[in-house]
Amino acid sequence: MTENPKVPANAGSMQDTRFRQGQSGNPAGKAKGTRNRATQAMMLLLEGETDALTRKAIELALAGDTTALKLCLDRIAPAPKSAAQCIDIEIPSGTLTDIARAFVMAAANGEIPPDIAAALVSAVASVAKVEEMETIKGRLEAIERALKGQKQ
């Protein structure tokens, strides 16, 4: 009887230690909100110093330190985030190109904000990609059926 060189001789007695899909190696896991040791050490060192550090950052910013100035301004007035808003726009029936063009024209006419128009055009582009993949899938399946019919 020849042995398979790829399988160790004691394979039957070895414990399978590979991960199984959908099964955690540590089901209890780390508790939510637990900080790592470096963060805990930093927080401990900064405890009681936040007022002094904030004052120093402000002084440096006022003295012309651009990095400190940026830090302070980012805290005072952070970059605005796009807020979801409802829009009322007539979407034409027709091709996806027509729909995307309607969003661009609505932004150009001031009916909707440009960032909302860009997001909507991006969504239309995603739909176009999905439709394209569906078309390709259908064509490929038709080709495969035709090839199977020729082989028989």
Average pLDDT of the residues in 41-54 = 86
Comparing C-alpha atoms, which of 73, 65, 71, 105 is closest to residue 89? 105
114-134, pLDDT tens digit by residue?
Answer: 888 999 999 999 999 999 999
60-95, pLDDT tens digit by residue?
Answer: 989 999 998 888 888 888 777 766 677 777 787 889
Mean pLDDT of the chain: 83
Q: CA torsion sign, 77 to 79 to 85 to 88?
A: positive
Say if residues 108 and 95 touch (Cβ distance below 8 Å): no
102-115, pLDDT tens digit by residue?
Answer: 999 999 998 888 88
1-18, pLDDT tens digit by residue?
Answer: 555 556 555 555 667 677
**Identity (one letter) of the amino acid at 141?**
E
User: pTM for the full model?
Assistant: 0.44
